[in-house]
Chain A
Amino acid sequence: MAMTEKEHYPLSSIRSILQKLPHIEALGLTAMEFNRGSCLFEVKYAPHLVGNIESGVIHGGVITTLLDSAGGAAAFTVVPAGASVATLDLRIDYLKQAERERSILGFAECYRQTQHIVFVKGYAYHESPDDPIAHFVASFMVGSVGFAPNAKQ
């Protein structure tokens, strides 16, 4: 809708700016789906992301980064254009171990938005959201202290 595109950041510009952030690039995170209010990111398995060389399982921090990125991206899609977003807090429940050599998907959606806070929840999985690796809940501050897509670099 034209109105939506005027009031919010355009989805395409959030997507391209987030994809170019140094750590998103370094980790190899890809935005798979980008909707108003929800985002799906993927991280590919890579040997340098491993936390346990015996099991080959990637470090839990990779899942934190995947979900924080998906959550932050989802928050950006609902805030007014010009506003910044910064993670206030997040919680991750590790439900089962990720499998080696497999990509992980991270989904996050905004379930409540106020003037100052965007409330987000999500999960990480290999194949099906019904068989999650981790659950995620977070809140993001809306304001001027965080990262804004149109801020001068």
Chain B
Amino acid sequence: MQNSDSSLFDQVMQLKAAEEFAAISALIPYSAFVGFELVIDEQGLLTILRGKASNVGNTTIPAVHGGVVGALLEHAGVMHIIHACDITRFPKIINISVDYLRPCIGHEDTYARGYLIKQGKSISNVRIEAWQTDQKRPVAAAHAHFLMG
């Protein structure tokens, strides 16, 4: 084994096996800062961004800062790979392209789900969608490439 028992990767793999995704979230300081949560539902892994006044980047609407929406999509993409794929190391983001579709209301929770479009030996392509009240009305969508091996 390349990783010792105490490595972060091994810890995350053990928590994944136990389906303790809240504990995985707790290992990521930025998750607590912006309010990311991870839950498992019947469709797989769901990433949640809690409505939080400190995430507002547009006080007129008020709406979540576009950067935080981008962060949510990236986070949901990485976490989807960790959840859905057999991996030997953490996926590393290569690039992400985000489309902003509707205002993301600041005091509401936002949900995001990843879809593995292609899993390659070295690179995977993931589509991620985020919505608030209606999954059919996404607030933002992204596609991203991740280095796997």
Q: Is the CB of B34 within 8 A of A90?
A: no
Q: Chain B interface: which size bin?
A: 35 or more
- A93→B94 contact, CB < 8 A: yes
By a CB distance below 8 angstroms, the chain B residues around A62 are 30, 67, 71
Q: Is the C-beta of B43 less than 8 angstroms from some C-beta in chain A? A: no
Interfacial chain A residues near B34, Cβ < 8 Å: 61
**When chains A and B are docked, how far (Å) is the Cα of A24 from the Cα of B54?**
9
Contact for B103 among A60, A68, A145, CB less than 8 A: A145
Q: Give Cα A54 to B24, complex, Å.
A: 13
With contacts A61-B30, A61-B34 taken as known, whether A89 is within 8 angstroms of B100 at the C-beta atoms is yes
1/0 contact string of B62-104 vs chain A (CB within 8 Å): 0111111011101100000000000000101111111110010
| Best-surrounded residue of A49, A89, A151 (most CB of chain B within 10 A) | A89
Q: A60-B74, A94-B95, A151-B60 are in contact. Are A23 and B68 (CB under 8 A)?
A: yes
Proximity bits, A57-75, B CB within 8 Å = 1, else 0: 0111110111111001000
Most buried by A among B33, B57, B71, B94: B57
Name the contact of B54 in the complex, choosing from A22, A53, A64, A90 (C-beta under 8 A). A22
* Contact residue among B28, B65, B67, B95 (Cβ-Cβ distance under 8 Å from A91): B95
CB distance from A118 to the nearest CB of B (A): 14
Q: B30 and A49: CB pair below 8 A?
A: yes
Task: Tell me, rounded to whole Å, the shortest Cβ–Cβ distance linking A146 to chain B.
Answer: 7
Q: Is the interface of B mostly helix, strand, loop or mixed?
A: mixed
In the complex the two chains form, is A23's CB within 8 Å of B98's CB? no
Counting CB contacts under 8 A, is A129 at the interface?
Answer: no
Q: How far is the CA of A89 from the CA of B133 in the complex (A)?
A: 22
Contact of A61 among B58, B68, B100 (CB under 8 A): B68
Chain B residues with Cβ below 8 Å from A26 are 33, 54-55
With A21-B57, A147-B61 as known contacts, state yes or no: A48 contacts B28, CB within 8 Å. no
Within 8 A of B (CB), among A97-153: 145-148, 151, 153
Does B59 reach chain A (CB closer than 8 Å)? yes
Closest to A55 in B: B8
Contact with A along B44-62 (1 / 0, CB 8 A): 0000000001111111110
**Smallest CB-CB separation from A61: which chain B residue?**
B71
From A49, A58, A89, B98 is in contact (CB under 8 Å) with A89
Known contacts A22-B53, A60-B71, A68-B70; decide if A147 and B58 are in contact (CB<8 Å): yes
Given contacts A54-B9, A91-B96, 9 further A-B contacts (CB under 8 A): A49-B29, A52-B8, A52-B90, A60-B93, A64-B96, A69-B67, A90-B70, A91-B97, A147-B57
